[in-house]
């Protein structure tokens, strides 16, 4: 079968899992615990997808090294106080991923999460055997650096024109553009269609599960 794409790379938070509000809460709670400036909701949403280190650079550049360490500690403690389960998946996403794999697509995750956190979330959602390769921010360069995508392409021996990135944030779409691969934006997460369209995706979808309608 002659397909547009052989490989589909998904972001995790806001694309596979409905976690944006929780991440915002954790960022604000960490700032409160550290007694530093509490980010506004939109500012917090704007850094979702980046590594936690890059997120602090954007949100709270005034923090010193000791304060940054404290912030990460509070953030992690808060974030992992809630387990990720199947109920956190966006509607239809689990079935969509299983269908894609059965159809022979290669599937990957490229996320700003650390690899340990991603592994825990994948186990909780029952998706640990669905993806052929994953990359977390602690394993490679943070988005929007293209290295994360380039490593996935190399690992799976896929050419750039046969890969598609699916994500909910500008960081996902910028990374795809930097890697010279096609991208689809989804508006169920951090950023609206108006914002995502500025980064030239081939489509913007309301739901991640709707990817099935445009890849053939």
Which pTM value belongs to this model?
Answer: 0.88
Percent of the chain, pLDDT > 90? Answer: 71
Q: Quote the CA–CA distance of 40 and 212 in Å, as a whole number.
A: 35
Per-residue model confidence as pLDDT tens digits over 34-83: 999 999 998 998 888 888 888 889 889 999 999 999 999 998 899 888 88
- In the chain, what are the domain boundaries? 7-18+85-213, 20-79
pLDDT surpassing 70 at residue 1: no
User: What mean pLDDT is predicted for residues 97-123?
Assistant: 93
Query: For position 49, what pLDDT does the model report?
Result: 81
Name the range with the highest mean pLDDT among 32-36, 138-142, 152-156, 199-203: 152-156
According to the model, what pLDDT value does residue 70 have?
93
pLDDT confidence band for 159 (50 / 70 / 90): very high
Q: Indicate the range of 26-30, 50-54, 63-67, 118-122 predicted with least confidence.
A: 50-54
Average pLDDT, the chain: 92
Q: Which CATH architecture has domain 7-18+85-213?
A: 3-Layer(aba) Sandwich (3.40)
Domain 20-79: CATH architecture, name and number where available: Orthogonal Bundle (1.10)
Predicted pLDDT of residue 81:
87
User: Percentage of the chain with pLDDT > 70?
Assistant: 99
Q: How far apart are CA 209 and CA 207, in angstroms?
A: 5
Looking at the DSSP assignment, which residues form a beta bridge with residue 186? Answer: 205
């Amino acid at each position: 079968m002659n397909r547009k794409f052989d490989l589909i790379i998904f972001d995790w938070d806001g694309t596979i899992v409905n976690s944006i509000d929780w991440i915002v809460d954790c960022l604000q709670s960490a700032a409160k615990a550290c007694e530093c400036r509490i980010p506004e909701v939109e500012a917090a949403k704007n850094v979702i997808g980046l590594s936690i280190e890059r997120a602090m650079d954007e949100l709270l550049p005034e923090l010193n090294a000791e304060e940054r360490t404290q912030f990460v500690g509070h953030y992690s403690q808060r974030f992992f106080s809630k387990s990720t389960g199947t109920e956190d998946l966006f509607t239809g996403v689990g079935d969509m991923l299983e269908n894609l794999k059965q159809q022979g697509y290669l599937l990957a995750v490229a996320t700003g999460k650390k690899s340990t956190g991603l592994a825990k979330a994948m186990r909780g959602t029952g998706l640990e055997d669905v993806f052929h390769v994953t990359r977390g921010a602690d394993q490679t360069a943070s988005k929007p650096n293209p290295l994360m995508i380039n490593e996935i392409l190399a690992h799976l021996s896929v050419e750039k024109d046969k890969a598609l990135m699916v994500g909910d944030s500008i960081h996902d779409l910028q990374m795809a553009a930097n890697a010279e691969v096609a991208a689809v934006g989804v508006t169920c997460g951090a950023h609206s269609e108006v914002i995502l369209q500025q980064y030239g995706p081939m489509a913007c979808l309301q739901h991640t599960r709707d990817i099935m309608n445009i890849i053939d």
